[in-house]
Amino acid sequence: MFDLFKKKKKPEKTEAPKAKKSDKELATENKEPWVNVVGVEIDQDDPGNGAFELDWNEYFVAKLVRAGYQKKKEDTDAEIVDRWFQAVCRNVLQENYEQWEANQPQGAPRQVNQNDLGNGRTEVS
């Protein structure tokens, strides 16, 4: 039998779920350097050109300053991070070039083009 007049129990109060902290928030709380690539834009007409959007915390900038990336006292955080990112890109390029150079056949003759310009002059390329 059902008791129609029985009091219904009130639902227990539960705390609202806490919002999960981002990696940046956690690193900042722990006073750890943090940087992340937020986005990449590619030029539709020239895919070799584009831009990266970075996000960082104050501890990452402090680490870069200690490493010598700040050139002037008035440098902004963005300028310091940009200087670091350019160095990373240069290092990647240099490493790829060195690998390419190491894979070239040893002792392979280099092709030299000569063009007689007249009057005893020659163009060499």
**Strand intervals (E) in the chain:** 35-42, 50-56, 114-118, 121-124
- pLDDT score, position 91: 93
- Would 87 be classed as within a structural domain? yes
- pLDDT score, position 113: 82
- pTM score, two decimals? 0.65
- pLDDT score, position 87: 95
- Would 12 be classed as within a structural domain? no
- Would 109 be classed as within a structural domain? no
Mean of pLDDT over the chain: 86
- Would 113 be classed as within a structural domain? no
- Would 77 be classed as within a structural domain? yes
- Would 28 be classed as within a structural domain? yes
- Would 125 be classed as within a structural domain? no
Of 72, 67, 96, the residue nearest 84 (C-alpha): 67
The parent domain of residue 31 ranges over 23-42+51-101
> What mean pLDDT is predicted for residues 14-22?
82
Q: Which residue has the higher pLDDT, 18 or 8?
A: 18
pLDDT tens per residue across span 58-79: 999 999 999 999 999 999 999 9
- Would 32 be classed as within a structural domain? yes
pLDDT tens per residue across span 79-120: 999 999 999 999 999 988 888 888 877 766 667 788 888 877
Q: Tell me the helices (H) and strands (E) count for the chain, helix number first.
A: 3, 4
Q: Look at the chain and report how many structural domains it folds into.
A: 1
In the block, tokens 């039998």 appear at: 1
Q: What is the CA radius of gyration of the chain?
A: 31
